[in-house]
Amino acid sequence: MHFIVEGGVPLRGSVSAQGAKNSAVHLMAATLLTADPVILENVPVIQDVFSMITLLREVGAEVSFDTARHRIIITSRKELKPEVSNPVAANLRASLSLAGPLLARAKQARIIFPGGCNIGARPVNYHLKGFQALGAEARLEDGYILVQGKRLAGRRIYLDYPSVGATVNLVCAATLAKGETILENVAEEPEIADLCNMLRKMGAKIRGAGTKMIQVRGVRQLHGTSHRVIPDRIEGGTYLVAAAITRGEIILKDTVPAHLEPLLVKLQEAGAQLETNKNKVHLRVLHRPKPVDIKTMPYPGFPTDLQNQMLILLCLAEGISLISETVFENRLLITSELRKMGADIQLHGGGAVIHGVESLHPAQVTAPNLRGGASLVLAALAACGLCEVDGVEHLDRGYEDMEGKLARLGARIRRIE
């Protein structure tokens, strides 16, 4: 499956951000912490959500997804079968987030080792170490993650790295552990605060969400709730960069500008005119972008998930830019594809030196992964002429109706099955 894109058209108009993929998948896993129904609103209609539904049903949850209303209802009333071996899990990093809730609720979990994209090794040592600290047995065996523990006991845990997934797993496990758990050096991503907000509505006792330290006082059980997923800062940010690359003007609606701060600062440095209000960002770019330097970091640093998108903009900048990718070791895979389009990128260790060029020319390119694929579409939007972007199934994992949203902004793009 591929896209045919005729680039060179400035994007204009308004576009709404979808619900956050990297919140929705963790919220869906966390619903296993209660036997009551949990309703999630603003759930994006994307492949990773369907994959998560498959895994929830495998462990015994009842799941209904009203895609027209972006609403999911999950009830794991029955005895859970804490085994996840559906091959879908092997390609979904978020399947790891089932471990904490299953351990807390069913006292054990056996999950096929999740991969996700090819952006790096994606080890799980912080997850295993955290579960062990809570008194569980946790290990890797024959390509599975095994955790088990009759009674989890809260304690102080320091994360060697503010891992998003490990923070999700340990917060979930701690909600039903005995006593108090203090998690230090945790991830501060907005998706963590979103998870903690839902858990609190389910009766969990959590303080410090969105800060470096989260305190959880264990309770006996959690109850159902309904919760609206926060806007997707990565999907929304992707459209802002698309508008900047094509020197257009867009309004990104239904977003949280504060969550986009690291990106907005860099777009402004590159010469974008920006105005924000409560839930909108208005962006306009009239000239060739200026070069800027980017270093990816855990939130509130510049997000690694928007690094490839900014790489495209810098390929067209009036000067030399530097990118330093510190989160994943293999997140510049699209460099070879961009060189086919005339980009001038030198790779150095975990970073890149980009000499901006006047324009990119069309080529046939292949998406290596989710965010790299989205970024190649952005490159095609900037190239004057017809581009073919293969591997669109990667995009469908995390972008709801990408070609529809871009077409409504004036892009000439169509999907060829």
* Site for ligand EPZ, rule CB under 6 A: 21-22, 25, 93-94, 117, 120-127, 161, 163-166, 304-305, 327-328, 370-371, 398
Question: Per DSSP, what are the bridge partners of residue 221?
Answer: none
How is residue 382 written in tokens? 């900037």
- Closest contact distance (angstroms) between CB of 22 and ligand EPZ is 4
Which residue, 53 or 327, has its beta carbon nearer to ligand EPZ? 327
CA distances to 237, 285, 354, 362 from 338, rounded to whole Å, are: 20, 22, 11, 10
Quick one: angle between helices 190-201 and 164-175, nearest 10?
10
Q: Are 354 and 344 a contacting pair, CB within 8 Å?
A: yes
Which residue, 158 or 161, has its beta carbon nearer to ligand EPZ? 161
Query: Tokens 């002429």 identify what position?
Result: 385
- Closest contact distance (angstroms) between CB of 302 and ligand EPZ is 11
Runs of H (alpha helix) within 118-271: 125-133, 164-175, 190-201, 233-245, 261-269
Q: In terms of residues, how long is the chain? A: 417
- Closest contact distance (angstroms) between CB of 153 and ligand EPZ is 21
Which residue, 2 or 93, has its beta carbon nearer to ligand EPZ? 93
Neighbours of 367 (CB within 10 A): 24
Query: Tokens 């030196």 identify what position?
Result: 353
- Closest contact distance (angstroms) between CB of 251 and ligand EPZ is 24
Which residue, 122 or 340, has its beta carbon nearer to ligand EPZ? 122
Residues known to be catalytic:
117
How is residue 274 written in tokens? 């920006």
- Closest contact distance (angstroms) between CB of 225 and ligand EPZ is 21
Q: Are 374 and 400 a contacting pair, CB within 8 Å?
A: no
Q: Are 154 and 179 a contacting pair, CB within 8 Å?
A: yes
How is residue 146 written in tokens? 């095994």
How is residue 252 written in tokens? 């990104």
Judge residue 91's burial from the number of C-beta atoms within 10 Å of its C-beta, 0-12 exposed, 13-18 middle, 19 or more buried. middle
Closest-CA residue to 23 (of 167, 174, 232): 232
- Closest contact distance (angstroms) between CB of 395 and ligand EPZ is 11
Rounded to whole angstroms, the Cα distance separating 234 from 363 reads 26
